[in-house]
Amino acid sequence: MLRIERSVHDQIVAHARRDHPDEACGLVAGAEGGDDPLRFVPMTNAERSPTFFRFDPTEQLKVWRDMDDRGEVPVVIYHSHTSTEAYPSRTDLSLASEPDAHYVIVSTRPSGTGDHAEEFRSFRIVDEEVTEEEVEVVPDVR
Amino acid sequence: MSVEVHVPTILRTYTRGAKQVEASGETLGAVIDNVDADHPGLKERLVDGADLRRFINVYVNDEDVRFLDGLSTVVTDGDVVVVLPAVAGG
């Protein structure tokens, strides 16, 4: 299960909306050995594409080094789907390289009913096997 | 002549859990060959034919080697090589 604070959840959704119709991507860092996503880190999608994302490689090195210095790991890795459901694509599965991360996908596709409640779903991806997990959005404790 | 190679979590199964290993070589390609000699299988995860795999980022002293000379990038004593799988998808 992914337990995530309301403000972090909302920042992910806001980033996905802001970059629509391109895919947005980023991570939420947390203490190594823990499972709490605490520090929101939006990343640049180097592909600037509605169907593909890739963390900008130079930015990625800097962010990974920051996490090392702080004793953090990427607890959540998120990206958006802009015209399909919030479920991992074949590409998402084949490129997933963090077996301990929660892979969050937000869909910003227009909903048929006209409301704007984005789908926000979380998955574990290990050896290209996907397992969906429950998401619990909790009030901010900080 | 030795350089430090930082290994990402997902590839540490090849290095018995080590976060970094020492290696030698005149170029990045030679360094990877040298690491593979001690940790067989690692090269296969990094290199495809004559090039780095598309979704593997390698940095020499913080420079993405795609902006240098790829596997031909010259390395010297004390350089730091960092390997990070790209975070990407569709």
Query: Which residues neighbour B28 within 8 Å (Cβ) at sequence distance 6 or greater?
Result: B58, B60, B65, B70, B71, B72, B73, B75, B81
- How much is the average pLDDT of A55-70? 96
Would you state the pLDDT for residue A116? 59
Q: Closest Cα to residue B81, out of B11, A28, A27?
A: B11
A142 has a pLDDT exceeding 90: no
A90 touches chain B (CB under 8 A): yes
Q: Closest Cα to residue B35, out of B8, B51, B15, B13?
A: B15
The answer to whether the Cβ–Cβ distance between B87 and A99 falls below 8 Å is: no
pLDDT tens digits for A5-56?
Answer: 999 999 999 999 999 999 999 999 999 999 999 999 999 999 999 999 999 9
Cα A56 off chain centre by: 15
pTM above 0.90, yes or no: yes
- Whole-number Å distance between alpha carbons of A41 and B11: 24
Would you state the pLDDT for residue B16? 96
Task: Decide if B58 contacts B65 (C-beta within 8 A).
Answer: yes
Would you state the pLDDT for residue A49? 98
- Whole-number Å distance between alpha carbons of B19 and A139: 36
Sign of CA dihedral A96, A98, A103, A107: negative
In this prediction, the answer to ipTM > 0.90 reads: yes
The answer to whether the Cβ–Cβ distance between A95 and B59 falls below 8 Å is: no
- Give the confidence band of A118 by pLDDT, cuts at 50, 70, 90: confident
Q: What secondary structure letter does DSSP report for A8? A: H
Would you state the pLDDT for residue A112? 62
B13 has a pLDDT exceeding 90: yes
- Which residues of B lie inside 8 Å of A (Cβ-Cβ)? 8-10, 55, 57, 59, 62, 64, 66, 82, 84-90
Contacts of A52 in chain B (CB under 8 A): 88-90
A115 has a pLDDT exceeding 70: no
**In a 3-state reduction of DSSP, which class is residue A69?**
helix
Would you state the pLDDT for residue A117? 65
Radius of gyration of chain B measured on its C-alpha atoms: 12
Beta strands in chain A (DSSP E): 2-5, 25-31, 39-43, 53-54, 72-81, 102-107, 119-126, 129-133, 135-138
- How much is the average pLDDT of A105-117? 76
What are phi and psi for residue A128, nearest 5 degrees?
Answer: 65, 10
A33 touches chain B (CB under 8 A): no
A84 has a pLDDT exceeding 70: yes
In this complex, the residue of B55, B84, B89 whose CB is nearest that of residue A61 is B84
- Give the confidence band of A113 by pLDDT, cuts at 50, 70, 90: low
- Give the confidence band of A111 by pLDDT, cuts at 50, 70, 90: confident
Taking CA atoms, what residue in A is nearest to B57? Answer: A57
- Give the confidence band of A141 by pLDDT, cuts at 50, 70, 90: confident
Task: Decide if B35 contacts B22 (C-beta within 8 A).
Answer: no
Would you state the pLDDT for residue A79? 98
- How much is the average pLDDT of B62-82? 97
Radius of gyration of chain A measured on its C-alpha atoms: 14
The answer to whether the Cβ–Cβ distance between A53 and B66 falls below 8 Å is: no
- How much is the average pLDDT of B10-34? 96
- Whole-number Å distance between alpha carbons of B41 and B33: 10
Q: Of A103-117, B25-39, B42-56, which range is least confident?
A: A103-117
